Structure 1
């Protein structure tokens, strides 16, 4: 198994891409902290995976809150004895056109999508440094690379994640820690499935592969970057977008 006995924290792990990643990592032998703000959904997801024989523990976390993040990391170390992999997957949207965007919505998206990545990584880092190795995987977005109408806050947060990823790669490579990011394209999550068919068809039309990603497509990219197969991949932003904006 590609992640046998490795300890992974996956934030935003209760739904969508995060849940697909938890499931995929578990299949490859990882021991997982499924971290999410949604207590009921997260606890249920972890229980279902344990019933399948996987070693998954749910921890409620608000990644924007430093004390909450520190508690998550403490629990991970107490339960599993250490940390090998951090997947900063948690993220939110509060979309609106620039002229109508509320300041509270702008700030909350940055708090979760950007500050949350900083909080989690800074809290996990001492444990990776102690081991002299580890994998940090951040979630950006094609919106952070190309921008997107109605997503000033989201695009800004995801662009900043790219900058942090590259900065951390320069800092942490000498400590044996790989830092990379994944930039998903349009992905068929529960939220997207609720959109009108016309909108979904428009999204598909600008993708070279003429389909949306499924969460497993992104989870497979996370898995590659978490595994030893990517040990010489560093400071990279892996686009998993089916060929948008080629």
Structure 2
């Protein structure tokens, strides 16, 4: 009978591969860097392929393993290609999928168009679905397979002026829980994170005087996180430390949702 080392590093991701979407900047770039720091080989993807390459190059310059690819998560063929490329980084196995890609299109309900709702659903909800589905054939069943979806407080409690975004992010919660139930029999965990960080996507809320104070009043810690502050939660869910955690939604938001 084999005995595990007494001081095994539960957060060591050496020998594993990861696919991170929307990783040209913000949370995605921070997560890609954090996974690489723990030893994972990371495929950095973004709709802006040139910007994704910059992120990957920085990871490599810092001593990590990374490659990049342009990926529009609305394109099923592109998602399948990205999953295959990520698996090639670890001899045909893709251990970690982080579905982070997203955009916002704020408007009050009366001004929200059907087209904008469908666009948010296509990018956030269907984008995560496509990438997870594409990765499924490469995910191992040895207990190291991870799907980590990104939702938001908007998907948990709703947000003024974001009917479209809130609907898409709420859908991700339901999809995460259903995927977790189904894939548990294959020892693949599926979880979601709801971060609140200072990124280009939150710039409108953070810089608009009307919304900025209201939002900060809702966050007990009275500030936004830097992307690197939320990246550790992704590493946790990707690691052996979270081998028995599945179907959960983890807010990393300074107490915004509790």
Deviates more, 1:72-81 or 1:148-157: 72-81
- The reply to whether residue 38 of structure 1 matches residue 48 of structure 2 is yes
Correspondence 1:236 to 2:214: no
TM-aligned CA deviation for residue 201 of structure 1: 3.4
Is residue 2:115 matched to residue 1:109? no
> Counterpart in 1 of 2:4?
none
Instruction: Provide the residue aligned with 2:14 in structure 1.
Output: 4
Matches within 5 A, 1:35-184: 35-81=45-91, 82-129=93-140, 133-184=144-195
Match of 2:213 among 178, 196, 201: 201
- For 1:4-59, what per-residue CA distance to the aligned partner results, in whole angstroms no more than 9, with x for missing partners? 12101111111100000011111111100001101121111111221222111001
RMSD between superposed Cα atoms in Å: 1.7
SS of alignment partner, residue 173 of structure 2: helix
Q: Deviations over 1:61-112 (max 9, x none)?
A: 1111101111111222334322001011111111111111222222111111
- On the 8 A contact 1:133/1:175 being kept in 2, the answer is no
Alignment of 1:12-27 (within 5 A): 12-27=22-37
Which is further off, 120-129 or 135-144? 120-129
The whole-number CA distance in structure 1 between the counterparts of 2:62 and 2:257 is 40
TM value normalised by structure 1: 0.93
The 8 Å contact of residues 203 and 212 in structure 1, kept in 2 or not, is answered as no
TM-score by length of 2: 0.89
How far apart in 2 are the matches of 1:130 and 1:8? 15
Give CA-to-partner distance per residue, 1:193-226, whole Å, 9 cap, x none: 5643734333222111111122122211111100
User: Cα–Cα, structure 1 residues 164 and 79, in superposed 2: closer, same or farther, change >3 Å?
Assistant: same
C-alpha separation between the residues in 1 aligned to 2:244 and 2:152?
22
Alpha-carbon distance in 2 for matches of 1:108, 1:127: 28
Residue ranges of structure 1 left out of the alignment (5+ in a row): none
**Which blocks of at least 5 consecutive residues in structure 2 are unaligned?**
1-10
Q: Which residue of 1 aligns with 2:38?
A: 28
